[in-house]
């Protein structure tokens, strides 16, 4: 396992949109804890059903549930050249767990990129989001709709709206972000591991900013 790249930012910052493209570009896996939990929920595993109850309300799942899942995923051979973490860590306890895990593996601190966006942009992005339940492609009815109405461009499946992209759950997710995840900015800043990227503007321009930033910092 090589150095880990973390995409940090509020719900709707564009972490998933960017991580998919940047991971492809860098040839490393994109690991989204939200996607892992949603997949478990679709398969109706005990983890998935317990997580779904929390996720649909906009609450975080417990640290002791999500951290071992990430540990197992990062131990797989496809992560030996690195990986992008999207949605993890999102509490100080998760960041400490990850740090200890990387230290045991003889690796340094992860490189953390905080994607900054305005609050207004986030709400519009989340309410307009549609996702392909099969390939995970992300769309937006306002900014990036599928070419055919509600049909995924990639595989022709019907796109869906996430259960937590409603006003009540968005409010709770933003509160959870402010309370539990925002302190990570300071945490990683103190470790000199934090980079900032402007997440406003066209997705392609943001991808360019991200790629140039991680290359400047000798990632890969
Ligand atoms: P998760 O799936 O991680 O959701 P999130 O953090 O709320 O982030 P989002 O997926 O909503 O936003 P994003 O930044 O990826 O934005 P996206 O690229 O999709 O987590 C869901 C739940 O799982 C949590 O609430 C929790 O319950 C649980 N969970 C997951 N990880 C956990 C953990 N570590 N600990 C505990 N619980 C955990 O973009 C959003 C929209 O904007 C899209 O429509 C997109 O097309 C559009 N868009 C993107 N970029 C642009 C742009 N530049 N301009 C215009 N539109 C854009």
Q: Which residues pair with 218 in a beta bridge?
A: none
Q: What is the pLDDT along the chain (220 residues), one digit of tens a residue?
A: 578 999 999 999 999 999 999 999 999 999 999 999 999 999 999 999 999 999 999 999 999 999 999 999 999 999 998 999 999 999 999 999 999 999 998 887 899 999 999 888 999 999 999 999 999 999 999 999 999 999 999 999 999 999 999 999 999 999 999 999 999 999 999 999 999 999 999 999 999 999 999 988 877 6
What separation in Å is there between the alpha carbon of 140 and the centre of ligand 1?
Answer: 12
| pLDDT given at position 107 | 81
The pick from 63, 125, 132 for probing ligand 1's pocket by mutation, whose C-beta has the most ligand atoms within 8 angstroms, reads 125
Give the closest residue (by CA) to ligand 1 atom 21: 34
pTM of the model: 0.95
CB within 6 Å of ligand 1 — which residues? 9, 11-17, 33-34, 37, 54-55, 58-61, 66, 87-88, 90, 94, 125-126, 128-129, 138-140, 143-144, 164, 173, 201, 203, 206
Give the closest residue (by CA) to ligand 1 atom 43: 129
Q: Which two tokens stand for residue 128?
A: 């307009």
* Backbone dihedral angles phi then psi of residue 114, each to the nearest 5 degrees: -95, 120
What separation in Å is there between the alpha carbon of 147 and the centre of ligand 1?
Answer: 22
| pLDDT given at position 65 | 96
CA geometry: angle 133, 206, 177, nearest 5 deg? 65
| pLDDT given at position 1 | 55
Q: Which residues pair with 6 in a beta bridge?
A: 85, 112
Atom number of ligand 1 nearest to Cα 162: 11
Please choose, from the candidates 105, 103, 73, the residue with its C-alpha nearest in 3D space to the C-alpha of residue 87: 73
Please choose, from the candidates 124, 117, 85, 87, the residue with its C-alpha nearest in 3D space to the C-alpha of residue 101: 85
Alpha-carbon torsion angle 213, 215, 216, 220, nearest 10? 130
**Beta-carbon neighbour count of residue 182 at 10 Å?**
15
| pLDDT given at position 3 | 84
């Amino acid at each position: 396992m090589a150095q880990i790249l973390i995409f940090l930012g509020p719900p709707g910052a564009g972490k998933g949109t960017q991580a998919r493209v940047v991971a492809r570009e860098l040839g490393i896996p994109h690991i989204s804890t939200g996607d892992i939990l949603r997949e478990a929920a679709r398969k109706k595993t005990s983890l998935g059903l317990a997580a779904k109850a929390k996720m649909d309300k906009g609450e975080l799942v417990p640290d002791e549930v999500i951290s071992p899942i990430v540990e197992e995923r990062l131990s797989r051979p496809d992560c030996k050249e690195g990986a992008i973490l999207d949605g993890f860590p999102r509490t100080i306890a998760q960041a400490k767990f990850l740090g200890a895990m990387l230290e045991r593996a003889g690796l340094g601190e992860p490189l953390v990129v905080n994607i900054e966006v305005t609050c207004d942009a986030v709400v519009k992005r989340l309410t307009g989001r549609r996702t392909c339940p099969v390939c995970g492609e992300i769309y937006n009815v306002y900014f990036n709709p599928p070419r055919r109405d509600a049909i995924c461009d990639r595989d022709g499946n019907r796109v869906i709206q996430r259960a937590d992209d409603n006003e009540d759950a968005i409010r709770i997710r933003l509160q959870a972000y402010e309370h539990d995840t925002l302190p990570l900015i300071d945490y990683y800043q103190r470790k000199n591991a934090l980079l900032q990227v402007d997440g406003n503007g066209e997705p392609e321009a943001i991808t360019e900013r991200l790629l140039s930033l991680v290359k400047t910092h000798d990632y890969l």
